[in-house]
Structure 1
Amino acid sequence: MDLVVPVKRLAEAKTRLRGAAGDDPAAHARLTLALTHDTVAAARAARLVRRLIVVSSDPVVAAELAAVGVEVVPDGPLPGLNAAYAHGAEVLRSRRPDGPVGALQADLPALRPDELDAAIAASAGHARAFCADADGTGTTLLLAAEGVALDPRFGVGSAVGHAASGAVALTGAWPGLRRDVDTPDDLRAAADLGLGEHTRAVTVPCR
């Protein structure tokens, strides 16, 4: 499986999470970047992930991730999260036209590699499949089989949108894969599962 992970410019990302790692904007940027680092590290450690690229035009994101061997490609010509996923999928498919591709959210600091492997394995036999978030309304992972368009529909109510588009909902527990972080409460819930090392290093007690 080849995965694409989009990351907004740090100054614009995770606005509802502001203050969770301190009050100054630099602290918020560090937290946003830490979430990405932990998500990407877990994904790269998954056995069934062949290649991963990050889509971002933020120079700090590009430099930080390149330093640990992650490929970063700039945003495509169209704005928005779904456009970033589609652009990343095009890049991956340009290299392996018939390979399966996946879209992974960048804010999964409690993700475990074995959870991602289990979700990818569970998607076998389906043209497209997705993992809903802990609330059941959003999407943390979308997978498309060989030769199938990714057709991302992330955003508010994306679980319904992906199901309506024909993607199959994956039913495994996978708490770290389902726990995306948009708010301080989400961050506390992720901490209960066990944060990755980068997020642990920049978070202040939030209980």
Structure 2
Amino acid sequence: MDTPRPERRVAALVALKPLPAAKSRLAGLPDGLRRQLARCMALDTVAALASATDEVLVITEQPDLSPALLACGISATVMPDPTPQPQPERSAAHQSATEGEASLNAALAHGDQLLRAQGISVVLACVGDLPALRTESVRRILTSAAELAAGGHPRSYVADHSGRGTTILVAHGVPLDPRFGSGQAMGSAERHRRSGAAPVTTTSVDDARWDVDTLDDLRTALGLGIGRVTASLLDPSPLAPATGALGRYLELSR
């Protein structure tokens, strides 16, 4: 009688910048609204991941993220960023792009080590700005990544809508070796490919490719269908007049 194979445990991993540094390319938005948007997109991203994986680990220096997740009914573990933080006179908002990338990738590598030490078989690292991400797309990507792993490619990645960046990186039983970031001449998708990762080519996962760096990106994400937390910034509520501010700003900036 064949011995049944142990079930493979899957964890999602997200590293988030401190809010003052988040979504710096949306500098056209008022600071408060930009930070709100970054937080809401992260919450929607984590919500989609939590429904498709066994657990989610978020690494960040955002001290109020845990209460925000709890308030939204999203299950995730939050831990402090173990990488060296900028000195007070040189805040995270003023880090160079390459410094920010190195910090992000170091945090992801640390989280990957922790998860694998706990017996996690599959680690899926994801950016935190996918407001339209759907649980079903995450499941499709995991299925495709498993097929690639069975074919000899234990690491695989999802390129963003531009084809240059990476939104998701999956590792089956091997170190994640993350190479995220857009601050170098070579895009992260190509860096991941050159490191031996295979591209995930499954279709109908545009929501998993559409990270938001500009207002035009956000408008496209709206067409794909954004999560409920980000939607709260767009749809005014009679009980919360401050909601809907982003929607009004998008209309004015057309």
Q: Is 1:160 the counterpart of 2:169 in the alignment?
A: no
What aligned pairs does 1:31-180 form with structure 2 within 5 A after superposition? 31-46=37-52, 49-67=53-71, 68=73, 69-78=75-84, 80-96=103-119, 99-124=121-146, 125=150, 126-146=153-173, 148-156=174-182, 157-173=187-203, 174-180=205-211
Say whether the 8 Å CA contact 2:109–2:176 is kept in structure 1: yes
Report the TM-score when normalising by structure 1.
0.91
Name the CA distance, whole Å, in 1 between partners of 2:70 and 2:63: 10
Which of 14, 17, 27 is the matching residue for 1:5? Answer: 14
Q: Which runs of 5+ in 1 are unaligned?
A: none
Report the TM-score when normalising by structure 2.
0.75
Name the CA distance, whole Å, in 1 between partners of 2:157 and 2:225: 23
Residue equivalent to 1:29: 35
Say whether the 8 Å CA contact 1:65–1:71 is kept in structure 2: no
Name the CA distance, whole Å, in 2 between partners of 1:135 and 1:167: 18
SS at match of 1:59: coil
Name the CA distance, whole Å, in 1 between partners of 2:139 and 2:128: 17
Once the 2 structures are TM-superposed, how far is the Cα of residue 19 of structure 1 from its aligned partner?
4.1
Q: Deviations over 1:153-192 (max 9, x none)?
A: 0112000000000000011230100000111111111011
Once the 2 structures are TM-superposed, how far is the Cα of residue 28 of structure 1 from its aligned partner?
1.7
SS at match of 2:232: helix
Name the CA distance, whole Å, in 2 between partners of 1:176 and 1:182: 14
Once the 2 structures are TM-superposed, how far is the Cα of residue 138 of structure 1 from its aligned partner?
0.3
Name the CA distance, whole Å, in 2 between partners of 1:100 and 1:196: 25
Name the CA distance, whole Å, in 1 between partners of 2:142 and 2:84: 28
Once the 2 structures are TM-superposed, how far is the Cα of residue 65 of structure 1 from its aligned partner?
2.3
Amino acid at match of 2:66: A
Identical positions, percent: 40
Once the 2 structures are TM-superposed, how far is the Cα of residue 62 of structure 1 from its aligned partner?
3.4
User: Runs of 4+ in structure 1 displaced over 4 angstroms?
Assistant: none
SS at match of 2:20: coil
Residue equivalent to 1:14: 23
Say whether the 8 Å CA contact 1:142–1:152 is kept in structure 2: yes
Amino acid at match of 1:83: A
Q: Which has the larger radius of gyration?
A: 2
Once the 2 structures are TM-superposed, how far is the Cα of residue 66 of structure 1 from its aligned partner?
4.5
Q: How many positions carry a matched residue from both structures? A: 200
SS at match of 1:58: coil
Name the CA distance, whole Å, in 2 between partners of 1:168 and 1:204: 38
